Amino acid sequence: MKNYISAVFMGVVLVSCGSKKPYVESEKAYKVQLEAYKKQISSMQAAQLSLQEQVSELYKESTKDELTRYKDSITLKKPVTLPYGIKSEWVSTVNFNLRKPNYIIIHHTAQDSLAQTVKMFTNPDRQVSAHYVIGDDGTVVQMLNDYLRAWHAGAGTWGKDTDINSVSIGIELDNNGFEPFSLKQINSLLALLTKLKKEYNIPTQNILGHADIAPTRKQDPSALFPWKALAANGFGLWQDEILTEAPLDFQVEPALRIIGYSTKNLNAAILAFKRHYIPEEPDSVLDRKTINTIYSIYKKQP
Ligand SMILES: [Zn+2]
């Protein structure tokens, strides 16, 4: 017992000796790690750059100020006062990294050229952007670091996720909305998806179209987009080749909701689903084939 008491006493002495700045080591480690992450979000390395210098330079200029702001804001470590006057303290942990994207949203630009889209995304008045734009000829232009938040999804939702921009990478395909997607463009998209899915461990069912997450507002990518080919390469879900008959008590609306669709406007959700999975019938008719296809995708939910 005596030994135990003296051990406790010694412990108290040791702790109190080092208690002037007890977290100085973790503070140091936090800072070192943060510097590495600041470098990571500042990286402007692109896989391929084939734009005119002029446009690239314009982009660099427009990004600099914003980037400084975000680099500074991730360095902030001040205690804050919460509602009701409750004060928080700061102690740096050493166990952290950057938040990463968990969805990929595919769009078509509804523009006439890659240059037109890049110009729009470098214009502060337009308030829209994406991480990547892929040209008709397969050119891939990266416009934003993957860790930063682009403005491509708008007021979209998927399941209970209501801020898709915060959790996704946006990929825009140069396409006017009425033309087929070129083979070169799709090949570049597949290459990009391969890299991103692996790098961020993105679940295959989280590779979606803009219209899937915003069925009342958006139609992109159009019914000409090859979702089946993407799924065959491991990106996105696809229905069974031979559909099984949905049970009699199978309910379409909750099933679509469980898949992720907002069903506030059920017709819009059915149309978005068919544009994606039954592109030869891009309408909101709920026939047997549609119900069985919804059932097939519903059964594949993790
Ligand atoms: Zn879109």
| Confidence category of residue 63, pLDDT binned at 50, 70, 90 | low
Cα(117) to centroid(ligand 1), Å? 12
| Mean pLDDT (whole number) for 189-207 | 96
Domain ends where: 236, 267, 282? 236
Which domain covers residue 161, as residue numbers?
Answer: 21-77+94-236
Looking at the structure, do residues 288 and 215 belong to the same domain, yes or no?
Answer: no
Rounded distance, CA 240 to CA 274, Å? Answer: 15
pTM attached to this predicted model: 0.86
**Is 241 a residue of the active site?**
no
In a domain, 109, yes or no: yes
| Mean pLDDT (whole number) for 97-114 | 95
Domain ends where: 186, 202, 236? 236
For the stretch 27-36, pLDDT in tens is: 888 888 988 8
pLDDT at 48 exceeding the cut of 70:
no
The number of C-alpha atoms within 13 Å of 26 and in the hemisphere containing its C-beta is 10
Looking at the structure, do residues 131 and 272 belong to the same domain, yes or no?
Answer: no
In a domain, 11, yes or no: no
Cα–Cα distances in Å, from 10 out to 2, 3, 7, 17, 20?
Answer: 12, 10, 5, 11, 17
Task: Please give the angle made by the CA atoms of 234, 239 and 242, to the nearest 5 degrees.
Answer: 125
pLDDT at 1 exceeding the cut of 60:
no
Domain tally for the chain?
A: 2
In a domain, 63, yes or no: yes
Q: Of 35, 57, 61, 172, which is the active-site residue?
A: 172
Looking at the structure, do residues 28 and 166 belong to the same domain, yes or no?
Answer: yes
Cα(290) to centroid(ligand 1), Å? 24
pLDDT at 213: 98
In a domain, 189, yes or no: yes
pLDDT at 23: 86
What is the secondary structure of 197-256 as a DSSP string?
A: HHHHT--GGGEEEHHHH-TTT--PSPTTS-HHHHHHTTSS----SSPPPPPTT--HHHHH
In a domain, 16, yes or no: no
| Confidence category of residue 74, pLDDT binned at 50, 70, 90 | confident
